[in-house]
A and B are shown apart, each in its own frame.
Chain A
Amino acid sequence: MKTNLPPPPRDYQKSHQLIGAWMHKHHLSCEHYTHLSISAMDRPLGISEKFQRWIHFFMCSVCRKFTKQIASLRMLVKRHASDLATTKPTDEFLQSLRKELASTTPENSSPNPKPDNSTDG
């Protein structure tokens, strides 16, 4: 993947060079943490997953910030969709749609079926 993004902060590089292998071995790596954090938005995590996630959360400030980002992302996406959803149709379109509905008979009944199907007794 081509990206022009800078490497993580120096103190992150130092600390993670030291403990990276250990974290990787115990499923506590940043990659695993981000995967769990994102998955947690779609499904409940298992007990060991929760445990792995919380251990990493306390150890890694870079990933703590990442968690904030994906929460912001969720809100941003919702906001964007609700902005778009305020787009209004044109009057011409509404009028032609109304005409079309009016000229089409509902297959079986209208929402308030007429009672005159029954014979008058």
Chain B
Amino acid sequence: MNQESKIAVDLFMEHAPTLYGYAYSRVRDHHLAEDLVQDTMLSAWKSWDSYQGGSSVLVWLTGIMRHKLLDQWRSNARKPILQHQENEEQEANPAGLFDEQGNWVIDPNHGMASMLQSPAAAAHNADLRKFIALCMAKLPQRMLLLFQAKEVDELSVAEAAEAAGVTPGSAAVLLTRARHSLRLCLQESLMQ
């Protein structure tokens, strides 16, 4: 192996830990995360020519990984167990929160003192951090993929929709449901 290839490999490998962290934060499984990183790095490696410069190498690699994530999700979705989860998306709307006039039938703030101080305080709260992990794991996979693309990667709704393989219209609905579901799940967790 010549010196230049070695430098190129080093350049790629510099990003491997960051990519792995990204992958793990999405799939929460070490084996799946390893597969994703390997898959991403190899296909990026083979197609250096398509790298235009402009964005950083890490941004480019992350973009490739987002596509791989969607591919991985799609191949999982063919398995019947996850197909079932997909159907539950339809029922995740906030039915039962409001009466027919649109008034609250539950107290959305009961037990939520830790969410009401400030966003920074909430983000430091150990209980909330434990519960948000559990609550996010309960979201249907496609909704989670979309929600993370929007909220964590800070993509636009249109870009996030593409990353999750849904139309922008249903993305808006799914994002609303995701927030309602997570908030409600946190409240129920805090009350136990």
Contacts and interface: CB of A to CB of B under 8 A. Distances in A.
A30 to B, nearest CB: 5
A84 B143 CA distance: 19
Given A89-B37, A97-B37, A69 B48 contact: no
Interface residues of B, number: 81
Contacts of B42: 100-101, 104
Contacts of A30: 98, 102-104
Given A38-B180, A69-B115, A109 B22 contact: no
Contact of B13 (A86, A94, A114): A94
Contacts of A4: 188, 191
A57 B106 CA distance: 18
B81 interface: no
A42 to B, nearest CB: 5
B21 A86 contact: yes
A17 B133 CA distance: 37
A76 B176 CA distance: 16
A69 B13 contact: no
B172 interface: yes
Contacts of A88: 17, 20-21
B49 A87 contact: no
Interface stretch (B4-12, B63-71, B72-80, B82-90): B4-12
Given A35-B176, A106-B46, A109-B48, A66 B108 contact: yes
Contact of A73 (B22, B47, B96, B179): B179
Contact of B118 (A72, A77, A114): A72
A5 B187 CA distance: 8
Given A24-B101, A81-B152, A88-B20, A69 B108 contact: yes
Nearest to A2: B96
A37 B11 CA distance: 44
Given A21-B101, A66-B108, A81-B148, A73 B183 contact: yes
Contact of A29 (B13, B101, B128): B101
A77 B182 contact: yes
A14 B183 CA distance: 25
Contacts of A32: 102
Interface in A43-102: 43, 62, 65-66, 68-89, 93-94, 97-98, 100-102
Given A29-B102, A89-B17, A101-B12, A79 B188 contact: no
Contacts of A114: 4
Contacts of A72: 115-119, 121-123
A39 B172 contact: yes
Interface in B102-139: 102-110, 112, 115-124, 128-129, 132-133, 136
16 contacts: A6-B106, A8-B108, A42-B157, A42-B175, A43-B157, A65-B108, A75-B119, A77-B136, A78-B152, A80-B136, A81-B151, A88-B17, A88-B20, A97-B37, A107-B46, A111-B48
